[in-house]
Structure 1
Amino acid sequence: MDLDRLSATAQPVLLSILRFITGLLLFQFGVAKLFKFPHVEMFAQVTPFSLFGIAGMFELVLGGMLMLGLFTRIVAFILSGEMAFAYFIEHAPVSFFPLLSDGTLAILFCFVCLYLAAAGGGPLGLEALRKRRP
């Protein structure tokens, strides 16, 4: 079997895995910001209605929806915007270079979520299950 056919066969499942892992990673940031678990020093003073707290709510709820594959395109689009906002508010003022401003992860999340908004959630998720029902 050639590599192109193998890649084409695996692509939909890998898209679902990318969606799930992205949601899980965002979800963990929401849990750390709002529930202080695990303890992360930079999130220790976050309150629910602060800028970080509201971002945590987005990450918790929408990251969970992304994991489940529910309304993937709109959820991923909103999360992409949140990550762009996070980069320009928190990281870009520190330095133009993402490596120096610790903004690499925000940029990566932004563009992975933008890709998911365009590509959808793949075949493994609640949205795909709902579409398969007669």
Structure 2
Amino acid sequence: MPVPSSTIDKAAPVALGVFRVVIGLLFAAHGAASLFGVFGGAVGTNGGTVAAGAWPSWYAAVIQLVCGLLVAAGVFTRSAAFLASGSMAYAYFVVHQPDGLLPLQNHGESSALFCWAFLLLVFTGPGAVALGSLARHPAAPPDAATA
């Protein structure tokens, strides 16, 4: 039996919020791996870290960590997602594209997927359970008449 579209529509903000958290944490994990050597370390360094200030890898790792955490938390989501999307577009076209036309040829699948996932968040916003929206819309104080 198909699920009514109204039920799916009601669940959309929650699904978007879960998507945002998962994408943000995955992105932050890439940055943490490169900066601190955790989760197996930086890609291509056999468990090491990227050198501080090395262009573009260190800057990309900082963007990944900071923007990933901001997106996961739902704070400055659109701005952080815009920066993250741009950094992944740069990674794809400058780092991966010279090795082949298609992502399967140049190993740029994760860059392409992150780029498009973050671009989606730029246009949709954070969805449900975002700390940024809680700060803008704090819970109403309890009514003195009901207390």
2:132 corresponds to = 127
Q: Distance in 2 between matches of 1:28 and 1:95?
A: 26
Runs of at least 5 residues in structure 1 that lack an aligned partner in the other structure: none
Q: Secondary structure, in 3 states, of the residue corresponding to 1:78?
A: helix
Asked if 1:49 corresponds to 2:64, the answer is no
Name the one with the larger helix percent: 1
Paired residue for 2:106? 101
Aligned to 1:78: 83
Deviation of the 1:100 alpha carbon: 1.1
Higher relative contact order (CA 8 A, sep 6+): 1
Aligned to 2:23: 22
Please report how far the alpha carbon of residue 101 of structure 1 lies from its aligned counterpart in structure 2 after TM superposition. Answer: 0.7
CA distance in 1, matches of 2:6, 2:96: 41
Instruction: Name the aligned partner's letter for residue 44 of structure 2.
Output: M
Q: Give distance in 1, aligned partners of 2:85 and 2:94.
A: 14
Matched positions, count:
134
- Show the counterpart of 1:7: 8
Gaps of 5+ in 2: 141-147
Structure 1 CA distance for aligned equivalents of residues 3 and 110 of structure 2? 34
Q: What RMSD over aligned residues (CA atoms) do the two structures have, in Å?
A: 1.5
For the pair 1:118 / 2:120, whether they are aligned, the reply is no
Is 1:64 aligned to 2:66, yes or no? no
The AA in structure 1 aligned to 2:72 is: M
Q: Report the CA distance shift for 1:38/1:2 in structure 2 as closer, same or farther (over 3 A).
A: closer
Question: Larger deviation: 106-115 or 122-131?
Answer: 122-131
Report the TM-score when normalising by structure 2: 0.85
Q: Between the two proteins, what is the percent identity of the paired residues?
A: 33
